[in-house]
Amino acid sequence: MSQQVWFITGSSRGLGRALVVAALEAGDRVVATARRPEALADVQEKYGDRVHPLALDVTRPEAARRAVEAAVGRYGRIDVLVNNAGYANVSPIETADDDDVRTQFETNFWGVHHVTKAALPVLRRQGGGTVVQISSVGGRVGGSPGIASYQAAKFAVDGFSRVLAAETAPFGVRVMVVEPSGFATDWAGASMTVHTIPDAYEETVGELNRRVRQSSDGAAGDPERAAEIIVRTVRRGRVPSHLLLGVNAVTMALEYSRRQLAEATAWEKVSRSADFGEPYPVDLPPEHGDS
């Protein structure tokens, strides 16, 4: 492929910053957006006019539209849109602050909505492009105690992206949802606030928080490798609808899919019996331990 133009949100650190560098190393140009674009001064010094740091708060629709207009004004097009901005705070659902939950959703889901919507007219007019949604393996399997808002938003991003792919395929737009497991970024560090965990939730939220999120061992995933994989994948003629990244992501996704298939199969006759014309009633499947 010829030189491409990337538009990346949440570019000042972590995977977003690694993506900026990987795209530039591949010879492309990048509009690197962040709440604090000055954090990319060293990247701009090294790569010059091939990178354009830009201030963007993804929770503001008008700001997203202005940023997209600025990107097109600078480089003439957008070939790859990466919705990377996101964060998680920790709290049990029962004691979570409603405003904090909504604020997380504003970034993790509505930010994706605003930026994607702003970029779609550009992608449609130019006859194609690639939308990369940085999600999480938790957005596929769920069930991680303490981060309900984050995982709910990632599930929403996945549903949004499936519809987006169906609606925009005739325009030549490709959509890829990236689902990493734990990576060595500050997602579970400076970016995460851990709220008070009541004693009743110590064995769920507290235990997972200590064992995984606050572990001194660190995460297994290398953000630079992940970024390079994404850049290489985007340059293909075809991209996967979902790209798992990391050993844990692959393991968790495969185990989840097997459980889903087994459950759907076990309940198949019951599920079918809800329709007119199907045999009814039918026996429920035996519970565990029944002969």
Tell me: cis bond preceding 281? Omega within 30 of 0 counts: yes
Average pLDDT of span 4-13: 96
Ordered by where they begin, the domains of the chain are 5-245 (3.40.50.720), 252-291 (no CATH)
Catalytic residues: 135, 150, 154
Tell me: cis bond preceding 170? Omega within 30 of 0 counts: no
The whole-chain average pLDDT of the chain stands at 93
Alpha carbons 256 and 263: distance in angstroms, whole number: 11
Encoded tokens for 174: 């490709």
Alpha carbons 195 and 145: distance in angstroms, whole number: 13
Are 193 and 209 spatial neighbours (Cβ–Cβ below 8 Å)?
no
pLDDT digits (tens, 9 = 90+) for 16-40: 999 999 999 999 999 999 999 999 9
Looking up tokens 């963007």, which residue turns up?
56
pLDDT at 98 over 80: yes
pLDDT digits (tens, 9 = 90+) for 229-278: 999 999 999 999 999 999 999 999 999 999 999 999 999 999 999 999 99
Neighbours of 69 (CB within 10 A): 12
For position 125, what pLDDT does the model report?
A: 97
- Which of the four pLDDT bands, split at 50, 70 and 90, describes residue 211? confident
Looking at per-residue pLDDT, the higher value among 191 and 60 belongs to: 60
For position 192, what pLDDT does the model report?
A: 75
pLDDT digits (tens, 9 = 90+) for 147-177: 999 999 999 999 999 999 999 999 999 999 9
For position 288, what pLDDT does the model report?
A: 78
- Which of the four pLDDT bands, split at 50, 70 and 90, describes residue 182? confident
Alpha carbons 68 and 156: distance in angstroms, whole number: 23
For position 138, what pLDDT does the model report?
A: 92
Alpha carbons 26 and 32: distance in angstroms, whole number: 15
